[in-house]
Amino acid sequence: MKKIAFHTLGCKVNYYDETWIRGHLPEDFIEVSFKEDADFYIVNSCAVTKKAQQESRRYAHQAKKRNPFAVVIYTGCGAEIGDDDLIDKGWADYVVGTSKKENILKILRGEVPPGIYRDELRSLKELKCFGDTIFTTTRAFLKIQEGCDLMCTYCVVPYTRGKSRSVPIGRVIEEMEKIFSAGYKEVVIVGIHLGLYGKERGESFEKLLWEISRRKRFLRVRLTSLDPNEVSERFLKIILDSPNIVPHFHLSFQTGCDILLKKMGRRYRVRDIVRVVDKIYRFFQNPSIGVDVIVGFPGETEKMFERTRQLLLDLGVSYIHPFTYSDRPYAPSSTFSDKVPSEIKHERMKEMKRIDRMLREKWAMANEGKVLSVLVEEKKDNGWFGYAENYLPVLTGGKLTPNMIYKVKVIASKGRFGYGKLIETGENPGISI
């Protein structure tokens, strides 16, 4: 048997791509840990920030150092923008762009020679590498959309993932049927820009959600990042009336300053963010709202940062996912002259992380006394860990089983965690994985 190891960095879309490769491995392959000796290593790289791309390159180097005779395949976003030198350095044998990911299967079968494999991303009109995935986690991920058409000034993704393209509604529902039939209790819908889903064929994300909500055997469905201007009342009403789409919203907030939003090329303003968050709280009793924030975008003054900081506190979001701005290839903002010094970005990021910890703790405390449905994932210390429908991380005692949903009352909180007491043996029992 040939040994293969994966290491994936970055977003859930990247993770889905890993599961697709895993689901199509030749029969004579067995997966091992990335820390072990293997015949093949696949590094699924991230390039959303300079730090992420550097870290991706280090993993390729580590793999080659661990076994100089192994075949190292470097794929993902970094493989589309400037990491070809890994072959010259001897850190990788193949650099495979996101446009040619299906070639990885040919590489594993020994059908193509070492080298660089890429296609013209912007000409791609079909989402490839979909379906028949194998997950190593309790929750399943499903990529329904790829690429982006918006060309925000800081973002490299249109150059690493191409134009927006998506999977037809019928195929999405079909794949979800397979996943839930296999015993999974939750599917996380992922994409580069979910709001663009189906536009190229006259479909829409709202239409897909409506179709999902009609199928009661789909136990739990979670959404990922959304732009504030794409969250309409109809969108929220579909989720409110749905028996399976959970009240967890992750918004592309980025900054609390209109001047910077315009400079970033974002298609919404602060008033739109405030309006959407207010709507979510009016529609749902106990939702979770997370936001992406970019720290240190060119031109961000101390006053602008403080405005963002205060808005996050005023909105009362559940958590923050902060990024430190870094120049990216092809991104217009890399040419902007009013860069924020590194030391200032570092201090602002420290403050944003402090606010994030505070918001998560406050959010956990707000759930004390509430009864939640927790999908158990794994054993942790003195209890079982899992996420509630509203994305609260919960630790629960008792004799529980992974991949089962339990009714749990949150009796206390510590840090970002809720501590739960089992009040019901099990709901929607199914296959343990």
Give the separation between CA 65 and CA 324, rounded to whole angstroms: 30
Q: Which residues contact 423 (CB under 8 A, 6 or more apart)?
A: 371, 407, 408, 409
Domain count, the chain: 3
Residues 144 and 110 in one domain: no
Q: Please tell me the predicted confidence (pLDDT) of residue 427.
A: 46
> Of 56, 86, 119, which one is at a domain's C-terminal end?
119
Residues 332 and 229 in one domain: yes
Domain membership flag for residue 382? yes
Domain membership flag for residue 431? no
List the chain pLDDT tens, one digit each, 433 residues: 999 999 999 999 999 999 999 999 999 999 999 999 999 999 999 999 999 999 999 999 999 999 999 999 999 999 998 899 999 999 999 999 988 898 999 999 999 999 999 988 777 888 888 888 888 788 999 999 999 999 999 999 999 999 999 999 999 999 999 999 999 999 999 999 999 999 999 999 999 999 999 998 999 999 999 999 999 999 999 999 999 999 999 999 999 999 999 999 999 999 999 999 999 999 999 999 999 999 999 999 999 999 999 999 999 999 999 999 999 999 999 999 999 999 999 999 999 999 999 999 999 999 999 999 999 999 987 789 999 999 999 999 988 999 999 999 999 999 999 999 998 654 443 333 3
Residues 353 and 379 in one domain: no
Residues 346 and 245 in one domain: yes
Q: Please tell me the predicted confidence (pLDDT) of residue 433.
A: 32
Q: Which residue has the tokens 């040939």?
A: 2
Q: Which of 7, 87, 2 is nearest to 38 (CA)?
A: 2
Q: Which of 365, 271, 363 is nearest to 311 (CA)?
A: 271
> Of 119, 150, 173, which one is at a domain's C-terminal end?
119
Domain membership flag for residue 146? yes
Report the sign of the C-alpha dihedral through residues 185, 360, 423, 214, in that order. Answer: negative
Give the separation between CA 73 and CA 66, rounded to whole angstroms: 14
CATH number at residue 70: 3.40.50.2300
Structure tokens at 304: 């602008």
Residues 350 and 262 in one domain: yes
Q: Are 318 and 290 in contact (CB under 8 A)?
A: yes
Domain membership flag for residue 360? yes
**Prediction pTM value:** 0.92
Residues 359 and 385 in one domain: no
Residues 18 and 52 in one domain: yes
Give the separation between CA 341 and CA 326, rounded to whole angstroms: 11
Q: Please tell me the predicted confidence (pLDDT) of residue 197.
A: 96
Element holding 387 (H helix, E strand): strand 383-388
Strands 371-380 and 405-414 come out as antiparallel
Residues 206 and 252 in one domain: yes
Strand partners, 72: 41
Residues 319 and 394 in one domain: no
Residues 85 and 211 in one domain: no
Range of the domain at 28: 2-119
Q: Please tell me the predicted confidence (pLDDT) of residue 424.
A: 60
Q: Please tell me the predicted confidence (pLDDT) of residue 425.
A: 53
CA angle, corner 261, sides to 416 and 246, nearest 5?
40
> Could you please report the per-residue DSSP string of 76-92?
EGGGGTT-THHHHHTS-
Domain membership flag for residue 128? no
CATH number at residue 382: 2.40.50.140
> Of 349, 365, 381, which one is at a domain's C-terminal end?
365
Residues 335 and 385 in one domain: no
Q: Please tell me the predicted confidence (pLDDT) of residue 432.
A: 34
Give the separation between CA 369 and CA 376, rounded to whole angstroms: 19
Residues 83 and 188 in one domain: no
3-state DSSP assignment of residue 127: coil
Domain membership flag for residue 8? yes
Domain membership flag for residue 131? no
Domain membership flag for residue 129? no
